[in-house]
Chain A
Amino acid sequence: MTGPRLAGLLVPVGAVVAAFLVGGVMLLMLGVNPIRGYGALLDGAFGDLDALADTAIKSMPLLLVGVGICIAFRASVINIGGEGQMIAGAIVSTLVALAVPDLPRVLLVPLVLLGGLLGGAIWGAIPGALKAYSGVNEILSTIMLNIVAVQLMNFLLRDLIMDPYEKDGGRIPQTRRLSENSDLPLLPGDTRIHIGVLVALAMAVLAWVLLWRTSLGYRLRAVGHSSAAARYAGMPVKRTIVAALTFSGAMCGLAGALLVFGSESHRFVTDGSSVGFTGSAGFNGIVTALFGGLHPLWTIPSSFFFGGLLFGANAMQRAVQVPAALIVALNGMVVVFVVSSDRLRRSIGQRLGPGLEEAVNEGVEDLE
């Protein structure tokens, strides 16, 4: 294995280990045996088939959001609106299921998923259009639309689409149990894994095709490199920017729909916040995409790793009674450490094999 390649793998892995070591110190200070704690985390995430299935389910929204981020960031558009787009997708897909509950499963399931794509696409198209045609920065519009989405969700769930049973009763902000025909089919085997995982994988592949095998994808990447050059070359830059955010939003919307219809409860329920529904997938998905090098296919293992970290952390919390807050802080440290190790990796790589470095980076094209 050549120098840069070796450095390329070892250094980031070392960064993750370093973050876990710091976390281990924190566990010790809380009076917990770190080995037992991390053991519970790994066991909970990957220990048996059920755990793997649950980790896959947890990774699914991360993968979709991550794929959406790949598309957007490649066009140099920063989409921090994942949370709101997931909610928008969940809303539209739920409305579909409530509108036509008696359609046969083979029609209803794809229909609700389309609803998710549509809801997210709209919620992404709005900031896209605002950026392209009004010059409104997408960081601002996506953050603001996240807030709007949460309020819209709360409004709908405690009024228009609230379970009628709840209206006179406990007033829990949730819908009725959604039509059984809209339950995501489970995959064969005795686990809880459902087709949503396959849908997410398919989307990753489609995104790869989009970015590297279509002219739209070429335009997206061109605009990402330099919008001025793209404009000079006659490409419709504004429409491309809108497309980037629309596709990105659609992925997030699909994730939201999958969360509702793949959930334990088969209802759309809120606790009043966005994170209570999404599990911060809107943010974690960004990290997932970047750990996957903004490449949709490599986002797959990246999302699996992150999903495992998040799901296993719950198991760790149960096993050793540490507050969930420790896990959140640990996630943050993993992100910062890994992202910081970038330069270290390059300088070690350079010392081990100057010149080869550039070739490796340029040669990335043939992988794609």
Chain B
Amino acid sequence: MSDFFTTASLVFVVGSGIRLATPFLLAGLGETIGQRSGVLNLGVDGVMLLSAFGAYWTILETGRPVAGLLVGLGVGLVMGVVYGVVTVTLRAEQGVSGIGIFLFGLGMSDLLFQKKVGTPLPIRGFGDWHVPVLSRIPVIGEMFFQHSVLVYLAFLLVPVVAFLLNWTTFGLNVRAVGENPAAADSLGVSVARVRYKTILLANGLAGLAGAVLSIELGIFQQNLTNGQGFIAIALVYFGAWRPVGVMGGALLFGMVSATVLQWKTLGLVSGAASSLTAMAPALLTIVALVVISRTVGQPAALTRPFERGR
């Protein structure tokens, strides 16, 4: 165990935890915005898969990572329009629609991958960017300031989303619509329009998350996300619908995963214990939430379609 507590080892674990947390964080931020306005989106994983494929294929064909990122975002927005039509205009049941989107995304991304890409070739990503000055700080520099641009993007979005939700009129409307859409409606706020916007934001961020995933990994594969979209949804509850809380949850999950990985690399854990330690991130997330034991409730109108007069 003393091997684990060396500087080099700990530096790696923190950096790795940050990297692992990034897709959860992006998707989780998006889901937070959506849920704050009363919309539950269980299809995040499917959107991530579609955008991951879109980004991968774009870069494969054009060689331009930025184009891939934009295509991923675009795919997310398109799925956002679809989800908006289904749940806001057509007022369909949100939970099931989300599962339908998930299944569609899972199958479609796999189908397109098998038909459009013969032999999967690796793609080049963005590379790491060393933040000037800050990355030279011993220890801290390596942990925090030598990551890919996409990681910085994700973490910078946390204060942006927090600001959006808490300090703008839009954010006020979002929260009102999520807590009491009838009251908001009577005050002249278009519930449908607000929800459309939040759904677009939510799915756009999910699209970004998927693109970041395939770009960082440099490849695509059937079910690339491996359930990360659902973990991101779970983290929204962990974070009590606050962007900072979601970031905390993503980092907790990422760090525990990274710690477990490092133990295995160093040979501290092997054989049977290996499976058991793989449970650690999930178990610790539950335990942490029980311990922190917040009593913040969910947005009151979460999952209820809104219809004037009902």
Q: In the complex, A140 Cα to B241 Cα: how many Å? A: 13
Residues of B in contact with A, size category: 35 or more
Q: Is A354 an interface position by the 8 A CB rule?
A: no
Interface string of A328-355 (1 = CB under 8 A from B): 1111111110011111100000000000
Q: Could you say which residues of chain B place their CB within 8 Å of the CB of A286?
A: 95-96, 99
Question: Does A363 lie at the interface of the complex (its beta carbon under 8 Å from any beta carbon of B)?
Answer: no
A344 CA to B86 CA, complexed, in Å: 11
CB of B148 closer than 8 Å to a CB of A? no
| A299–B43 alpha-carbon span in the complex (Å) | 23
Q: Are A342 and B93 in contact (CB under 8 A)?
A: yes
Interface of B is mostly: helix
When C-beta atoms are compared, the residue in chain B nearest to A30 turns out to be B115
Distance A158 CA – B111 CA, assembled complex (angstroms)? 32
Query: Inside 8 A of B102's CB, which chain A residues have their CB?
Result: 283, 332
- 0/1 per residue, A317-334, Cβ < 8 Å to B? 000000101111111111
Select one of A30, A130, A143, A155 contacting B230, CB under 8 A. Answer: A143
The reply to whether B286 and A141 contact each other, CB–CB distance below 8 Å, is: yes
Residues of B within 8 A of A147 (CB): 227, 231, 279, 281-282
Chain B residue contacts of A214, Cβ below 8 A: none
How close is B83's CB to chain A, nearest CB, in angstroms? 9
Interface string of A271-296 (1 = CB under 8 A from B): 00000000000010011001000000
In the assembled complex, the CB of B149 is this many whole angstroms from the nearest CB of chain A, namely 30
Q: Are A332 and B101 in contact (CB under 8 A)?
A: yes
- Chain B hits for A331, CB < 8 A: 100, 103-104, 107
Could you tell me if B282 and A328 are in contact, using CB atoms closer than 8 angstroms? Answer: no
Is the CB–CB distance between B233 and A139 below 8 Å? yes
- Closest CB-CB distance, A101 to chain B, in whole Å? 24
Q: List which A127-148 residues lie within 8 A (CB) of chain B.
A: 130, 134-137, 139-141, 143-145, 147-148
Segment at the A interface, from B178-186, B188-196, B204-212, B291-299:
B291-299
The reply on A151 being an interface residue by CB < 8 A is yes
Task: Select the residue from A130, A143, A145, A152 with max chain B CB neighbours within 10 A.
Answer: A143
A154 to B276, CA, bound (A): 9
Is A326 a contact of B285 with CB atoms below 8 Å?
no
Asked whether A152 lies within 8 Å of B91 as measured between CB atoms, the reply is no
Given A130-B286, A141-B286, A325-B110, do A155 and B275 touch, yes or no (CB 8 Å)? yes
| A159, CB-defined interface residue at 8 Å | yes
Residues in chain A near residue B279, CB distance under 8 A = 147-148, 151-152
A140 near B275 with CB under 8 A, answer no
Q: Which residues of B contact A339 (CB under 8 A)?
A: 86, 92-93, 96-97, 100
Q: For the complex, give the distance between the alpha carbons of A143 and B289 in Å.
A: 14
A356 within 8 A of B: no
Min CB distance B212 to A, Å, is: 21
Contacts of B85 in A (CB 8 A): 340
Beyond A143-B230, A159-B272, A340-B90, whether A335 also contacts B96 by CB under 8 A is yes
Interface string of A16-60 (1 = CB under 8 A from B): 000000000010001000000000000000000000000000000
A344 CB contacts on chain B under 8 angstroms:
90
Q: How far is the CB of A130 from chain B (nearest CB, A)?
A: 7
CA distance A136 to B295 in the complex (A): 9
Structural contact, B290 and A155, CB atoms closer than 8 A: no
CB-CB under 8 A from B93, the residues of chain A are 290, 339, 342
**Nearest CB of chain A from residue B40's CB, rounded to whole Å:** 8
A137 to B275, CA, bound (A): 26
Q: Which of B267-290 contact A (CB under 8 A)?
A: 271-272, 275-276, 278-279, 281-283, 285-286, 289-290
Q: Which A residues are in CB contact (< 8 Å) with B91?
A: 342-343
- Does any Cβ of B come within 8 Å of A195's Cβ? no
Contacts of B233 in A (CB 8 A): 139, 143
Is the CB of B114 closer than 8 A to any CB of chain A? yes
A78 interfacial by beta-carbon distance below 8 Å: yes
- Within the complex, the shortest CB–CB distance from B205 to chain A, in Å, comes to 19
Residues of A within 8 A of B234 (CB): 139-140, 143-144
Residue B106 is within 8 A (CB to CB) of chain A in the complex: yes
Residues B103 and A329 in contact, CB atoms below 8 Å apart: yes
A327 to B111, alpha carbons, bound, how many Å?
Answer: 10
State in angstroms the CA–CA spacing of A323 and B91 once bound together: 33
A144 touches B283 (CB 8 A): yes
Could you tell me the distance in whole angstroms from the C-beta of B101 to the nearest C-beta in chain A? 6
B286 CB contact (under 8 Å) in A144, A151, A287, A327: A144
Does B99 contact A323, Cβ atoms closer than 8 Å?
no
Asked if B237 is at the interface (CB within 8 A of a chain A CB), the reply is: yes
B96 with A290: CB separation less than 8 A? yes
Inter-chain pairs besides A329-B106, A335-B99, 8 sampled, C-beta below 8 Å: A151-B275, A155-B276, A332-B105, A333-B104, A336-B104, A339-B100, A340-B85, A343-B90
A-B pairs with the 5 shortest C-beta distances? A332-B104, A329-B107, A328-B107, A335-B100, A332-B103
A residues adjacent to B (C-beta < 8 A): 26, 30, 78, 80, 130, 134-137, 139-141, 143-145, 147-148, 151-152, 154-155, 158-159, 283, 286-287, 290, 323, 325-336, 339-344
Q: Which residues on B are within 8 Å of A, measured CB to CB?
A: 42, 46, 82, 85-86, 90-93, 95-97, 99-108, 110-111, 114-115, 222, 227, 230-231, 233-235, 237-238, 271-272, 275-276, 278-279, 281-283, 285-286, 289-290, 293-295, 298
21 A-B residue pairs with Cβ-Cβ distance under 8 Å, sorted by A, are: A135-B294, A140-B237, A140-B238, A143-B234, A144-B285, A286-B96, A290-B93, A325-B107, A325-B114, A328-B103, A329-B104, A329-B107, A329-B108, A329-B111, A332-B107, A333-B104, A336-B82, A336-B86, A336-B97, A339-B92, A341-B90
